Amino acid sequence: MSKPNILLITSDQQHWNTIGAYNKEVHTPNLDRLVREGTTFSRAYCPNPTCTPSRASIITGMYPSQHGAWTLGTKLLEDRHTVGEDFQAAGYRTALVGKAHFQPLRSTDEYVSVEAYPILQDLDFWKTFHGPFYGFDHVEIARNHTNEAHVGQHYALWMEEKGCTNWRDYFLPPTGTMDASLTYKWPIPEKYHYNTWIAERTNALLSDYKEAGEPFFMWASFFDPHPEYLAPEPWDSMYDPDALTIPEMVPGEHDLNPPHFGKTQEDHPDFSDLAETGYGIHGYRSHHYYEYGTKFRLTDDDKKKLVAVYYGMISMMDKYIGKILDKLDELGLSENTIIVFTTDHGHFYGQHGLQAKGGFHYEDLIKLPFIVKYPGHVPAGHTSEAIQSLVDLAPTFLSFCGIPIPRSMTGMDQRDVWTGRKQQARDHAICEFRHEPTTIHQKTYVDERYKITVYYNRTYGEIFDLLEDPGELRNLWDDPDSAALKSELLLKYAWAELGKEPLPMPRIHHA
């Protein structure tokens, strides 16, 4: 058999329980199709609940504390080894279409970023630049979520090529002219939406690789359902807000949590003690307010509507994922292509009284939707509780393709787990969140039953029993009856940290 192809399909900031096969309030026929044809892993985790760190982990097979892109506003340095380099050396074509976010929106002389202003919107530059970029020999990328002013790069070029010469009307100032007070309904026609662009360009590259008879490692990287909550017709009104289950905080649930949890429920909280770099700190604000294109206090109706639009964004994305799956079938590539669908991290839309993301390592934020399909190799219609991490993707892809795994990669090879030959490759996952150098720095260890979160230079923390308390409502950190459990979990966490250190080379002699 020829070398297997790899197709990685990701969303952005998608809650784990938003696939129709498991949540009947959401309509996702194409993701449901993957569920039927592959294995769903119900215990998959991100290595960091923000974009740049997790996405860099996907292509390096390393944790953020190892690859160096430790938070938003940093970059993955170009000297870091990426999985695309291994695929290229093995004769694969490598491509990324959609969101990259390996680099920040600002560039400096020391840390140059092509995802930054002003080059971000220098369309003449993007007409000729398609890579190489972090191991991808071909990229077509963009940087905006919905109507953000960061629009540009290959997406803007594509809109112009499609005849959408007024594309700036659909994006915020200073790039565009859209009214920032408008929310939920995005006036952009669906044919110019970035979902359409990603599916069209992914399918074009798949056709090229098929015609040339070349194996490929392809990443189709969707932007939705990351807020702002905006979708074009009819997706913005697809769901009746009054018919949906809207998550809410349980009164008193933050009483035993670290201070930043409770502060999110104040109207005017003071997080100045955590501010260190001078840049924004995601999630450390009042969660009574909506804060994207505009700011307003969330009413009960708003909370319902944002969930309805969030689901609409997922359903629209699902349509275009379906177009990619259909193209694979049409080209006769499905049988020899490993497909993984997942996201970079989760999302809050009311759970625990929270919105979006931040330093709150609940399952809602760090657990992921995760489906693997590989006909004849990965069991179909199966669900597994084997723990997965996004750091495992790179080594596992290489293993399936018979390519040596670099020693720099600290993720686990999950091949035998995906194929059903082993029950598990790891007994825990680690999630890191370092959003300021010292003041916001935490790590979470989660195993089959328990979760513990520790904070740098802090005596507070979190322990949750996911079996007895799946809603994570009772923090056991200071519970006298859980003192022995706390000691045991702290030791297991220390072992896990020691165990994920890379070994750059084997020991080759006694001295």
Per-residue pLDDT reduced to its tens digit, 76-93: 999 999 999 999 999 999
End-to-end CA distance of the chain: 44
Mean pLDDT of 35-41: 98
How far is 76 from 55, CA to CA, in rounded Å? 10
Report the distance separating Cα 329 and Cα 433, nearest Å.
39
pLDDT grade for 1, boundaries at 50, 70 and 90: low
pLDDT at 202: 98
Task: Provide the b/e sequence for 15-32 (b: ≥16 CB within 10 Å).
Answer: bbbbbbbbeeebbbebbb
Q: How many CB atoms lie within 10 A of CB 112?
A: 12
Q: What is the pLDDT of residue 436?
A: 98
pLDDT at 467 over 60: yes
Q: What is the pLDDT of residues 136-149, one digit of tens each?
A: 999 999 999 999 99
d(CA 393, CA 376): 20
> 357-391: per-residue pLDDT in tens?
999 999 999 999 999 999 999 999 999 999 999 99
Instruction: Look at residue 381 in the predicted model and tell me its pLDDT.
Output: 98
* Confidence grade of residue 164 (pLDDT, cut at 50, 70, 90): very high
> The tokens of 89 are what?
């050396």
pLDDT tens-digit series, residues 390-442? 999 999 999 999 999 999 999 999 999 999 999 999 999 999 999 999 999 99
| 282 three-class SS | coil
Quick one: pLDDT band at residue 295, thresholds 50, 70, 90? confident
DSSP assignment string, 55-117? HHHHHHSS-HHHHS--STT----TTS--HHHHHHHTT-EEEEEEE---S-S---SSS--TTST
pTM: 0.98
Report which of 186, 205, 31, 199 is spatially closest to residue 130, judged by C-alpha positions: 205
